[in-house]
Structure 1
Amino acid sequence: MAYQNIDGVLVWGQPDESAVSQAKTCAATGSVVRTLLMADHHKGYSQPIGGVVVYDRQISPSGVGYDIGCGNKAVRTLLHADDVKPRIGRIMDEIARRISFGVGRVNDERVDHDLFDDPDWDVYKALGKQEHDKLKALAREQLGTVGSGNHFVDIFVEQETGRVWIGNHFGSRGFGHKTASGFLNLAEGREFLGKAPGESMDQAPVLFDLSSELGDMYYRAMKLAGRYAYAGRDYVMDQVLAILGTEADFEVHNHHNYAWKETHDGKEAIVVRKGATPSAPGQIGFIGGSMGDISVIVRGKDTAENRDACYSTVHGAGRIMSRTQAAGKMNWKTRTRSGGQISLRQMQDAVQAFGVELRGAGTDESPFVYRRLQEVLDAHAETIEVMHVLKPIGVCMAGADEFDPYKD
């Protein structure tokens, strides 16, 4: 087996002490069946990124996190590299111009969707008219916006065939964030829309019994936020396909910040994956690397180790340097940064050497702040197989100093 058992926590890859400590706290809190760390793990809020906690009849809003339904979508297009590479600069200019990165929207286009008639909006009606109206308005305003942080729209070339792929990564934006903070408020007896003090990094998970009123309401709200995230990624993907003037002939779409009802060891359980991708046997996933690294399409294996992993795998390469370490401390009043280990020139040289046309992004998302993706894939070789290796030729993200309270 490629994992270690550290005080009851199953750990893939090189253990990060702070993340392992958080995972031990998770394992000791509530009705826990199993606690796991994928090879891209690092410290998060309450539950580590790359952490998987399996509960018996409980769900954790702090475990799912603020960006409910954050995930990846990738499509293979009908185009080949020679169709795209000569015009990649113009393509990336158009993506940056037409698609909304950061907190706002770059155009006045109103994005409507059947989602806004979903019966699970009744959860917010039950909380109050103000809660319902405010969150629904925010959801309408931000549907199809990518946000900032590590969220992206990329153009790839498949190494095996030269086929062109598109990938995107983002979640439920402000709607998901306010849903998460609202239920964390309710758990502490505060008003749903009240000011939330924020979580302590090392606090124990917040848990609801799924059979309780709050647990049922959160589960329904989380699923709605997940459908909202899917709708946003679909919308952005359609925009990029239109820019390229092509269609998709294959797609893969998955969350990695979510809670699923699944059966493990013959019993139904709630599997909370924060920064971890489902990998049931035959299930296909898209795992992104940094802007200067490969990304991959993978498929879950039917192995004992994958069963031990509760059919979970990595969601990316995993950070090895914090945003502040990389880019320095930001003063939002003066909009200046101080400190930082990675310079803009270092980042530009690295992505240029890798053959990437970059739009936006700060040094806190440079290749230097992430592990190499192959390292974490190797740690999960017994649980997933790599179907396609994708090399980025175009990367678009929010600008370096874009303020977005919903970015992660």
Structure 2
Amino acid sequence: MAYATIGGVRVWGTPDDGAVSQARTCAETGRVMRTLLMADHHKGYSQPIGGVVVYDGQISPSGVGYDIGCGNKAVRTGLMAVDVKRDIAGIMNAISRRVSFGVGRVNEERVDHELFDDPDWAVYRAVGKQEHDKLLALARDQLGTVGSGNHFVDLFEEPATGRLWVANHFGSRGFGHKTASGFLNLAAGRGFLGHAPGEKMDQPPVLLEMDSELGVMYYRAMRLAGRYAYAGRDYVMKQVLAILGAEPEMEVHNHHNYAWKEQHGGKETVVVRKGATPSAPGQLGFIGGSMGDISVIVRGKDTAENRDACYSTVHGAGRIMSRTQAAGKMNWRTRSRSGGQITPEQMKHAVAAYGVELRGAGTDESPFVYRKLQDVLDAHSETIDVLHVLKPIGVCMAGADEFDPYKD
């Protein structure tokens, strides 16, 4: 087996002491059947990123996190990357103009979607008319926008075939964030839209009983936010394919911040994955590296180790440097940073050397702040097969120094 067991937690890759400590707290809180750390793990809020907690009849809003349904959609096109690279600068300019990046952004195009008639909006009506109307308006405004942080739209070349792939990464935007905050408020006896003091990094997870009224409401709201995330990624993908004049030949689409009802050990469980990709036998997934590294399409294996992992694998390379370490401390009054370990010149040189046409992004998303993806994939070689290796040729993200309130 490629994992170690530390304090009852199964750990893949090199253990991060802070994340292991958080995982042990999760393992000791509630009716926990199994606690796991994927090889890309690092500290998060309450439940570590790269962490998987399997519950008996409970669900954790703090475990799922604020960016409910964050995940990736990847598409193989019929285009050859060499043809696209001839005008890569113009194409990336078009993507950065067409797709809305950044915190709090709204889509200039009104998007009508059947999601807005979903019966699960009744959850918010049950909370209150003001809450329902505010969140529905926010969801309508932001559908099809990408956000900031490590969220992206990328173009890739598959070296083995020369084919062009497109991928995006984001979740349920402000709607998901307010849903998470609202249910954490309700669990603490506060009003849904009340001021929340915020989670402490190492606090125990907030747990809801799945058969309680609040648990049922949260589960329905989480699923609605997950469908919203899928709809947003579908919309952005259509925008980019239209720019390219391309049709999808193969699609891979999955969440990595979510809770699923799954059978493990002969009984129904609730599997909370924060920064972890489902990897059931035959299941496809996209795993992204940094902007100066490969990304991959993987397929879950039918192995004892994958069963031990509760059919879970990594969601990315995993950070080894915090945003503040990389970019420095931000003074939002002067909008200037100080003390960062990575300079814009270092980042520009590294990205250019890798052959990437970059739009947006700050040094806190530079290749220096992430592990090498191959290292974490190697740690999970008994749980997943790598089907397609992808090399980025164009990366588009929100601009540097955007305030990012999302905690995952």
TM range (shorter): over 0.9
- Match of 1:130, SS state, is helix
1:336 and 2:333 aligned: no
Q: CA deviation at 1:401?
A: 1.3
- Match of 1:211, SS state, is coil
| Equivalent-residue separation in structure 2 for 1:363 and 1:30 (angstroms) | 39
Indicate the residue corresponding to 2:314 in structure 1. Answer: 314
Indicate the residue corresponding to 1:143 in structure 2. Answer: 143
- Match of 2:69, SS state, is coil
CA contact (8 A) 2:154 2:166 kept: yes
Counterpart of 1:243, as a letter, is I
Q: CA deviation at 1:112?
A: 1.4
Q: CA deviation at 1:106?
A: 7.1
- Match of 1:15, SS state, is coil
Indicate the residue corresponding to 1:13 in structure 2. Answer: 13
Indicate the residue corresponding to 2:285 in structure 1. Answer: 285
Post-superposition Cα deviations, 1:206-245, rounded to whole Å, max 9, x if no partner, equal 0000000000000000000000000000000000000001
Counterpart of 1:275, as a letter, is G
| Equivalent-residue separation in structure 1 for 2:244 and 2:43 (angstroms) | 38
Indicate the residue corresponding to 2:152 in structure 1. Answer: 152
- Match of 2:100, SS state, is coil
Indicate the residue corresponding to 1:352 in structure 2. Answer: 352
Indicate the residue corresponding to 1:79 in structure 2. Answer: 79
Q: CA deviation at 1:105?
A: 4.0
Indicate the residue corresponding to 1:249 in structure 2. Answer: 249
Counterpart of 1:154, as a letter, is D
- Match of 2:111, SS state, is coil
Change (3 A) 1:272 1:107: closer
Q: CA deviation at 1:160?
A: 1.1
Q: How does 1:2-401 map to 2 (within 5 A)?
A: 2-105=2-105, 108-401=108-401
Counterpart of 2:92, as a letter, is M
- Match of 2:50, SS state, is strand
| Number of equivalent positions | 408
| Equivalent-residue separation in structure 2 for 1:226 and 1:33 (angstroms) | 24
CA contact (8 A) 2:104 2:174 kept: no
Q: CA deviation at 1:197?
A: 0.5
| Equivalent-residue separation in structure 2 for 1:220 and 1:172 (angstroms) | 14
Q: CA deviation at 1:82?
A: 2.0
Q: CA deviation at 1:266?
A: 1.0
Counterpart of 2:348, as a letter, is Q
Post-superposition Cα deviations, 1:290-334, rounded to whole Å, max 9, x if no partner, equal 000000000000000000000000000000000000000111111
CA RMSD between the two structures: 0.9
CA contact (8 A) 1:99 1:106 kept: no
CA contact (8 A) 1:293 1:392 kept: yes
| Equivalent-residue separation in structure 1 for 2:368 and 2:69 (angstroms) | 26
| Equivalent-residue separation in structure 2 for 1:316 and 1:266 (angstroms) | 30
Post-superposition Cα deviations, 1:326-380, rounded to whole Å, max 9, x if no partner, equal 0001111111111100000000000000000000000000000000000000000
Post-superposition Cα deviations, 1:34-56, rounded to whole Å, max 9, x if no partner, equal 00000000000000000000000
Counterpart of 1:319, as a letter, is R
Counterpart of 2:161, as a letter, is T
Post-superposition Cα deviations, 1:17-44, rounded to whole Å, max 9, x if no partner, equal 0000000000000000000000000000
| Equivalent-residue separation in structure 1 for 2:124 and 2:107 (angstroms) | 28
| Equivalent-residue separation in structure 2 for 1:310 and 1:107 (angstroms) | 38
* Structure 1 unaligned blocks of 5 or more: none
Counterpart of 1:390, as a letter, is L
Q: CA deviation at 1:3?
A: 0.2
The percentage of counterpart residues that share the same residue type is 82
CA contact (8 A) 2:70 2:257 kept: yes
- Match of 1:146, SS state, is strand
Indicate the residue corresponding to 1:405 in structure 2. Answer: 405
Post-superposition Cα deviations, 1:169-208, rounded to whole Å, max 9, x if no partner, equal 0000000000000000011100000001000000000000
Post-superposition Cα deviations, 1:138-160, rounded to whole Å, max 9, x if no partner, equal 10111000000000000000121
| Equivalent-residue separation in structure 2 for 1:271 and 1:148 (angstroms) | 27
- Match of 1:364, SS state, is helix
| Equivalent-residue separation in structure 1 for 2:324 and 2:193 (angstroms) | 29
- Match of 1:155, SS state, is strand
CA contact (8 A) 1:318 1:370 kept: yes
Counterpart of 1:336, as a letter, is S
